[in-house]
Each structure stands twice: as C-alpha cells, then as structure tokens.
Structure 1
Amino acid sequence: MKPLFKKAIVLLGAYYAHMLEYRAEIFLWALSGSLPLILMGVWIEASKNGHFGLDSLQFVRYFFAVFLVRQLTVVWVIWDFEKEVVEGVLSFRLLQPLDPIWHHLARHLSEKVARIPVVLFFIILFFVLYPQSAWVPSYSRLFLFTVAIIVAFFVRFIIQYTFAMLAFWTERATAIEQFWFLFYIFLAGMIAPLDVFPPLVKELVFWTPFPYFIYFPAALLTGLPVNFIRGIFIILGWGVIFLFVNRWLWRRGLKHYSGMGA
C-alpha cells in the first residue's frame, strides 16, 4: 500500500502544479457552467405565475446548489483520451507500469482542488446578492451531500471513460458523449428540478443514472425529499455495470490499437 500511496501523492502533486498554471482558465471554466444561474431567474419568474411544487426561495437555493454540484462533478476525460488515441500519445502511457486511467483521474481530482477558491468566491457572491436566500445546511446534510458528490463524480467519470474506450474504433468518440449529454441536461435536473415532472416520469427517471449526477446531491443540500439509501445503491449499481464494460472495452481496445509505437 505504501508504494501506491506514494505514486498517488506524486501524481496528484504534479497535476495540481500543472493546474495552478491555468488559474485564469479555471475561472473561465467555472463561468461557463453558469447556465443554472440563468435558469434560476427563469424559474423564479415562472413560480410567481404558476404552481410547480416549489416556491421562489426553493428555486433560488436549488439552482445555486446545481451550480455547485456541476462545479464539483465536471468531467472531460473523453476528450483527453480520444486525443491520446488519435495522436498516438497513448503509446507512451502504455510504456509506464501504471494504467492510464490513474493519470486522468489524478488530473481531474487536482483540477477540483484548484477550483475550490473559485467555488468559494461564487458562494460568497451568491450570499451577497441573495442574502434572503442564505441558508446553512446541517452537518448531517453536508455529510450526505459530500458522499453524494463523491459518488456522482466517480460514477460519471467511469461512464465517460467507458465511452472514451470507443476511441479505439472511431475518431469521434466524443459524439457519443454529446448525445448522452442531451439526456443529461433534461433528466439530471439541470434544466428543471425533477419535482416539476409528472410523478410517473419522475419515478422512472430515478432508475436511470442521470438524477444522481445533479438533482440528488442538490436536493440533499437544499432539503428536498429524496431517499438517500436507495439513491446511493442505484447509482453505485450503474457504476459497477459501467466499470465492467469499461474494463472489457479496454482489453479489446488495446488489441485493436494501432497508434504510433503500439
């Protein structure tokens, strides 16, 4: 375990130093995820003229929570992996006694740490602009939210990395992610909280992995009713399924890989 721990520390330290070189770019990345803040205003106005199960204060808190969740769970591994396969960079990764997945995971985790000051800035800004919406979740809710965020990030990472394996057979694996993203936008709770969906549709959506990437953590943070135990088991089940598919595609893909130096 000690050698593995040392490798993890070295990888995280190296990629964290790399991410610090792009602090301004990370700030712009954070701003690019501001769609929930725009939708917040839309739903606040809609709540004044309709009955959607949530009042304007709940919409404000929910969409700000969505903004935070997206900042902490963003994944882009498919673009990096596709580039490595197409350009033959993966060949150099394969020469190392370390699965390339750990490089990608370390890069993502380091970026999350580098993004923390930006997230704190937006939290302070939110409470300044919307003082009437300020709330302090209980320690239990913060704990459940943290667990949900960690699980959501790792499962989303595994799912996208599984799609990235298709880069062994096509040069446009990212097209699969873009198609998947259409379902992610509408079913994960980014456009609207799932509470505004018809009950039957909401129940069916909860059996898919999408709600657990955004709605589930946001609901835990803001106090909306969700079943934590059931939700964790469902999303972990999807994670296990995609993990097995990922490893199978990885073994098949390596046999098919013909990049420079392979």
Structure 2
Amino acid sequence: MSWLIKKIVSFLSVYYAHMLEYRAEIFFWVLSGSLPIILMGVWIQAAQGGDFSLSSVEFARYFFCVFQVRQFTNVWVIWDFEKEVIEGKLSFKLLYPVDPAWYHVARHIAEKITRFPIAILITLLFFWLYPQAVWMPKITNIILGLIAVVLSFTLRFIIQYTLAMFCFWIERASAVQQFWFLFDIFLSGITAPLDVFPPTVRDIVLLTPFPYTVYFPASLFINRPLNIMLSFLIMLAWIVMFFVLNRWLWKKGLKQYSGMGA
C-alpha cells in the first residue's frame, strides 16, 4: 500500500508542478467556461416575466453551481490521447509498467487542484456582485454534491477516454467528441436546468448519462435534488458500462496500433 501511495503522490506532484507553470493559461481556461454565467443573465430575465418552477434567484444559484461544477469536471483527454497516437508517443508509454490512462488522470486531477484558488476567488466575487443569491446548502447535500462531482468527473473522463479509443481506427477521434458535445451542451443542464423541460422529455433525458455530468451535482448544491439514490445508481451504471466498453476497445485498438508498425 505504501508504494501505491508513493506513486500517487509522485504522479500528482509532478503534474501539479507542471500545471503551476501555466497558471495564467489556466485562468483563461476558467474564463472560457463562462457560458453558464452568460446564460444566468438570460434566465434571470426570463424568470421575471415567465412562469417557471425556479425563481430568478434560484436560476442565479443554479447557473453559478453549473459554472463551478464544470470547473472540476472538465476533461480534454481525447485531444491528448489523439496527439499521442498520431505522433507515436503512445509507443513509449506502453513500455512502462503503468497503464497510460493514469498519466491522463493525474494530469487532470493536478489541473483541478490548480483551479481551486481561482474557484474560491470567483465565488467571493459572485456573492459580492449578487448578494441576494447567497445561500447555505444543507450539510448532507454538500457531502452528496461533492461525491456527485467526483463521480461526474469520473463519468465524463471515462466517456471521453472511451471515445478517444477511436483514434486507433480514425485519424481525428476528436470529431466524434464534437458530435457528442452537441447533445451534452443541451441535455446536461448547461444551457437550461432540466426543471424547465417537459416532464416526458425530462424523464427520458434522466436515463442518459448527460444530466449526471452537470445538472445532478448542481441540483444537490441548490437543495433541489431529484431521486438521489436512483441518480447515483444511474451514474454508476453508466460508469461501469463505459469502463467495460473502454477496456474492450483498448485491447482491440492496441492490436490495430501494433498493426500500423508501432
């Protein structure tokens, strides 16, 4: 167990030091995810003249939570993996006694740690500019929300890493990710909370993996969760499903990769 802890600490410390070199760039990455903040103003205005299940203040809280959840669940592994396959860098990592996926996991976690101080500053700025939106989530919802964020990151990572496996057969698997993103941006709760969806549509969407990457954790933090136990079970089911598919594509893809002379 001690050697495993040492490896984890070593991986994280190396990638954390690497991420600190790009603090300014990470700050701009944070700002690039400001779509929920923009949509916050749109929905606050709409709530003042429309009949929605959320008030204008609740919309503000929701989109603020969406913004923060996205900071700690964003994933870019498909672009890194695609580059490694195209440039042949994956061949060197296959020689190491560690699955190449762990390098990507460590890099993502280190980047999230680097974002943490920025997230705190943005939180303080938001409540200073919009004090009427200040609220305190229930302690149980905070704990469940943090667990949901971890699982959401896991789900998003395993989905994108699974899509990255198509790099073994096509040159630009990131195109598949762009197609997936079209559904994700509308069904995950980024553009609108699922509370405003028609009930039938919402029930169907809740069976897909999309709401559990953003909407479910955000709803926990604003004290408006749906069926918590069922939601966690659906999240775990999708994680297991994509993990199995990922391992199968990995084995098939390595044979294809070797066949290309790697």
Q: Answer whether TM exceeds 0.5 for this pair.
A: yes
Give the aligned length. 262
Q: 2:251 corresponds to which residue?
A: 251
Work out the CA distance in 2 between the residues paired with 1:259 and 1:137: 54
**Residue correspondence of structure 1 range 139-158 to structure 2 within 5 A:** 139-158=139-158
Q: 1:37 to 1:168 in 2, by over 3 A?
A: same
Provide the C-alpha distance between the structure 2 equivalents of 1:209 and 1:70, rounded to a whole number of angstroms: 15
Q: In the TM superposition, what are the counterparts of 1:72-87 in structure 2 within 5 Å?
A: 72-87=72-87
Q: TM-score, normalised by structure 1?
A: 0.98
Q: How many angstroms does 1:103 deviate by?
A: 0.2
Partner of 1:70: 70
Residue 192 of structure 1 corresponds to: 192
- Give the distance between the partners of 1:151 and 1:227, measured in 2 at CA: 16
SS in 2 for 1:119: helix
Amino acid at match of 1:132: Q
User: 1:100 matched to which residue of 2?
Assistant: 100
Does 2:139 correspond to 1:123?
no
The answer on whether the counterparts of 2:43 and 2:56 sit within 8 Å (CA) in structure 1 is yes
d(CA) in 1 for partners of 2:114, 2:54: 34
SS in 2 for 1:257: helix
Moved more, 157-166 or 220-229: 220-229
Match of 1:168?
168
**Separation in structure 1 between the aligned mates of residue 198 and residue 170 of structure 2, nearest angstrom:** 39
Retained in 1: the 8 A contact 2:66–2:190? Answer: yes
**Which portions of structure 1, spanning 4 or more consecutive aligned residues, are displaced by more than 6 angstroms?**
none
| Correspondence for 2:236 | 236
Deviations 1:88-109 (A, max 9, x none): 0001101111100000000000
Instruction: Give the C-alpha shift of residue 138 in structure 1.
Output: 2.3
Alignment deviations for residues 38-86 of structure 1 (CA, whole Å, 9 cap, x no partner) = 0000001111111121110110000000000100100000000000000
Partner of 1:34: 34
How big is the shift at 1:136?
A: 1.7
User: 1:16 and 1:32 mapped to 2: Cα distance?
Assistant: 21
Counterpart contact for 2:47–2:54, Cα < 8 Å: yes
After TM superposition, give the deviation of residue 225 of structure 1 in Å. 3.4
Residue identity opposite 2:133 in structure 1? S
Is the CA contact 1:158–1:246 (under 8 Å) kept in the aligned structure 2? Answer: yes
SS in 2 for 1:73: coil
Query: Structure 1: which 5+ runs fail to align?
Result: none
The alpha carbon displacement at 1:259 in A equals 8.9
Structure 2 unaligned residues grouped into runs of 5+:
none
Deviation at 1:2, TM superposition (A): 2.1
The sequence identity of aligned pairs, in percent, is 60
| CA–CA distance in structure 2, aligned partners of residues 16 and 261 of structure 1 | 34
Counterpart in the other structure of 2:2: 2
8 Å contact kept, 1:88–1:259: no
For 1:195 and 1:140, the matched residues in 2 are separated by: 22
Q: Aligned partner of 1:28: which letter?
A: F
**2-side partners of 1:225 and 1:117: how far apart?**
27
Q: Is the 8 A contact 1:88 1:260 kept in 2?
A: no
Distance 1:116 1:237, change over 3 A: same
Amino acid in the other structure paired with 2:203: E
Measured against aligned partners, the alpha-carbon deviations of 1:99-121 in whole angstroms (never above 9, x if no partner) come to 00000000000000010011001
What's the TM-score, normalizing by structure 2? Answer: 0.98
In 1, are the aligned partners of 2:187 and 2:205 still within 8 Å (CA)?
Answer: yes
